[in-house]
């Protein structure tokens, strides 16, 4: 389905909204290296690349399953001069050196993996980030048990998931506290919500962060 034009348009608009809400462009460095974990069909990575126009930045899209859509591939060939590549890999085993990366983006990925593996991914992010590098994170962030169930129903419908598919959410404040406790400083925080009106389910909360890692001065 993702090769079809209407789906591409929806994914492109969503990626633009996510990247722009976090003001990602103001945190990108000239010549920087950026990694998108769980890049899926590549739309978020392309929007990041567009935000970095003129900076000669490089982007590595890490994804174990999905493939880029034809539209994404055309963009890569025409506009990035080889500055974007797709790599089949897992987020907790990145094929990158220590302190090599200027930024890592993870958009709506972590709540699909168990908490202990989330931590392994974050450990890997800290390994590859240079001092002063940024984590760009978007997550579903229910605040209580009822919202958890609403969010889970929404997630399964949106992603065509089986009812047995587990989810591993954290609230926005939980994410902020977790990351701050692991050496990150909050630079930006964004928020939006969807109203799941079907069956009167209620609100689905989403929170985004730009978190700077360590001390840029070393």
Q: Which of 213, 214, 211 shows the shortest CA–CA distance to 187?
A: 211
Q: Which of 16-25, 28-37, 60-69, 145-154 comes out lowest in average pLDDT?
A: 60-69
What DSSP line would sit under 31-91, residue for residue?
T-EEEEET-TTSHHHHHHHHHTTTS--EEEEE-SS----HHHHHHHHHHSTT-EEEE---T
Q: Is the pLDDT score of 199 beyond 60?
A: no
Cα–Cα distances (Å) from 23 to 16, 26, 27, 189, 200, in that order, read 11, 6, 8, 10, 33
What is the pLDDT, as a whole number, of residue 191?
94
Domain spanning 5-213: CATH 3.30.930.10: no
More confident residue, 8 or 214: 214
More confident residue, 42 or 73: 42
- Model confidence pLDDT, tens digit, residues 59-107: 998 988 777 777 777 776 666 665 788 888 899 999 999 999 999 999 9
What's the CA gap between 25 and 72, in Å, rounded? 20
What is the pLDDT, as a whole number, of residue 180?
97
- Model confidence pLDDT, tens digit, residues 138-184: 999 999 998 999 899 888 888 788 888 899 999 999 999 999 999 99
Strand segments (E) across the chain:
33-37, 58-62, 84-87, 101-107, 129-140, 184-196, 202-213
What is the pLDDT, as a whole number, of residue 201?
67
What is the pLDDT, as a whole number, of residue 167?
95
At residue 92, φ and ψ (nearest 5 deg) are -95, 5
SS3 103: strand
- Model confidence pLDDT, tens digit, residues 106-140: 999 999 999 999 999 999 999 999 999 999 999 99
Cα–Cα distances (Å) from 108 to 3, 5, 36, 93, 96, in that order, read 21, 23, 11, 19, 22
**Which residues touch 7 (CB under 8 Å, ≥6 apart)?**
1, 69
Q: Is the pLDDT score of 18 beyond 70?
A: yes
Q: What is the mean pLDDT of the chain?
A: 87
SS3 164: coil
What's the CA gap between 206 and 142, in Å, rounded? 8
More confident residue, 218 or 183: 183
What is the pLDDT, as a whole number, of residue 82?
59
What is the pLDDT, as a whole number, of residue 115?
97
What is the pLDDT, as a whole number, of residue 80?
63
In the DSSP assignment, the letter for residue 26 is G
Cα–Cα distances (Å) from 129 to 40, 45, 59, in that order, read 21, 17, 14
């Amino acid at each position: 389905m993702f090769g079809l034009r209407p789906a591409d348009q929806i994914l492109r608009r969503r990626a633009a909204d996510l990247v722009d809400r976090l003001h990602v462009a103001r945190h990108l460095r000239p010549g920087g290296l950026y990694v998108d974990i769980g890049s899926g069909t590549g739309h978020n990575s392309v929007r990041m690349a567009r935000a970095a126009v003129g900076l000669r930045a490089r982007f590595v899209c890490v994804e174990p399953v999905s493939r880029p859509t034809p539209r994404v591939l055309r963009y890569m060939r025409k506009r990035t001069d080889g500055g974007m590549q797709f790599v089949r890999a897992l987020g907790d085993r990145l094929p990158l050196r220590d302190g090599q990366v200027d930024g890592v983006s993870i958009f709506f990925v972590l709540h699909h993996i168990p908490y202990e593996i989330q931590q392994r991914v974050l450990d890997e992010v800290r390994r590859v980030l240079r001092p002063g590098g940024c984590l760009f994170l978007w997550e579903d962030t229910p605040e209580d048990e009822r919202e958890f169930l609403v969010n889970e129903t929404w997630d399964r419908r949106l992603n065509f998931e089986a009812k047995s598919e587990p989810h591993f959410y954290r609230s926005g404040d939980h994410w902020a506290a977790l990351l701050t406790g692991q050496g990150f400083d909050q630079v930006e925080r964004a928020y939006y919500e969807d109203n799941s009106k079907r069956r009167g389910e209620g609100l689905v909360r989403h929170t985004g962060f730009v978190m700077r890692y360590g001390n840029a001065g070393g």
